[in-house]
């Protein structure tokens, strides 16, 4: 796996509002509903609230010509995905039989993104507790199938753009030609997606740009979601850490490639 480059782009006020780090693993069918209550005790002092939500279906990145479809059915009934919610609402641990995720989420206007080193350490620490729990209860071990990292960015109206005709100020690759002879009016919405393959087929970077409105206020916003999914040959703890470092570099450099230099400087205050 390639090494992470130094001197990544950095911003004083990045538009990131959520970061998710996760691991997809072989289903642990011995993990039953009563175990999830015991697991909560491992986190409850920091994550005092919980919630049941629908489980996530596995999405595996394939690099062969014929995608494989696994039709094997589990012998045990499905479990919900459990959220353990941090006391300040900024952190969420998500657990299901084949997946473990940790979210950092901005919930208040003055919440600041704690930066990647802290986010990845939180994920690794919470994952280690989960692995210890599995070992203590003879439930098996995690057999990684894929890692994932997602950065969700909100760029509200007024931060470099006022109408969708000005999307090129934020995303120069998608500028609309300004001419008085245009027949088409301002777009009603934006919905764009693409993907890029990482070196040695260790993953894909998926990017989506959408137009929406903020919950509550209804203020218009551009949403940029950036997700890397994949796995390297080294499935050790160290290999996992190296994979996340590479995924983060692709997201950070991809963000710098995709967004306008003036917005980076004037709105997000790029430092390097």
Average pLDDT over residues 119-135: 97
pLDDT surpasses 80 at 236: yes
Q: What is the pLDDT of residue 153?
A: 98
Q: What is the pLDDT of residue 272?
A: 82
Residue ranges of the domains in the chain? 16-63+71-266
What mean pLDDT, rounded, does the chain reach? 92
Q: Which pTM was predicted?
A: 0.92
Q: What is the pLDDT of residue 171?
A: 97
> In what helix (H) or strand (E) does residue 91 lie, and over which residues does it extend?
strand 91-96
Q: What is the pLDDT of residue 1?
A: 60
Average pLDDT over residues 18-31: 97
> pLDDT digit string (tens) for 138-187?
999 999 999 999 999 999 999 999 999 999 999 999 888 776 778 888 88
Q: What is the pLDDT of residue 71?
A: 45
Q: What is the pLDDT of residue 47?
A: 98
> In what helix (H) or strand (E) does residue 172 lie, and over which residues does it extend?
none
pLDDT surpasses 80 at 105: yes
**Lowest mean per-residue pLDDT among 175-179, 185-189, 211-215, 224-228:** 175-179
Percent of the chain with pLDDT over 90: 82
Q: Where are the beta strands (DSSP E) in 123-202?
A: 144-156, 191-197
Q: What is the pLDDT of residue 69?
A: 47
> pLDDT digit string (tens) for 51-93?
999 999 998 999 876 544 444 445 667 889 999 999 999 999 9
Average pLDDT over residues 193-222: 94
Task: Give pairs for 241-247: CB < 8 Å, separation 24+.
Answer: 241/120, 241/124, 242/1, 243/1, 243/147, 243/202, 243/203, 244/21, 244/120, 244/123, 244/147, 244/149, 245/4, 246/1, 246/2, 246/4, 246/198, 246/202, 246/203, 247/147, 247/149, 247/198, 247/203, 247/205
Q: What is the pLDDT of residue 199?
A: 94
């Amino acid at each position: 796996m390639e090494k992470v480059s130094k001197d990544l782009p950095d911003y004083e006020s990045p538009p990131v509002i959520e970061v998710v780090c996760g691991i997809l693993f072989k289903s642990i069918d011995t993990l039953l509903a009563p175990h999830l209550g015991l697991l909560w005790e491992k986190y409850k002092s920091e994550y005092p609230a919980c919630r049941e939500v629908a489980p996530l279906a596995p999405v595996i990145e394939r690099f062969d010509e014929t995608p494989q479809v696994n039709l094997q059915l589990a012998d045990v009934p499905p479990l919900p995905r459990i959220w353990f919610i941090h006391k300040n609402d900024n952190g969420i641990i998500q657990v299901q039989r084949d997946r473990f995720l940790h979210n950092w989420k901005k919930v208040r206007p003055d919440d600041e993104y704690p930066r990647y080193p802290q986010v990845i350490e939180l994920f690794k620490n919470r994952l280690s507790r989960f692995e210890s729990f599995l070992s203590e209860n003879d439930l098996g071990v995690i057999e990684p199938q894929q890692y994932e990292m997602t950065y969700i960015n909100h760029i509200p109206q007024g931060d470099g753009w006022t109408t969708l005709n000005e999307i090129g100020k934020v995303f120069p690759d998608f500028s609309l030609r300004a001419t008085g002879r245009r027949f088409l009016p301002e777009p009603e919405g934006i919905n764009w997606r693409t993907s890029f393959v990482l070196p040695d087929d260790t993953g894909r970077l998926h990017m989506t740009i959408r137009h929406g409105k903020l919950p509550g206020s209804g203020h218009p916003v551009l949403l940029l979601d950036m997700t890397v999914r994949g796995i390297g040959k080294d499935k050790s703890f160290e290999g996992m850490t190296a994979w996340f470092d590479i995924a983060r570099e692709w997201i950070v450099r991809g963000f710098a490639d995709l967004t306008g230099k003036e917005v980076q400087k004037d709105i997000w205050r790029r430092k390097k």
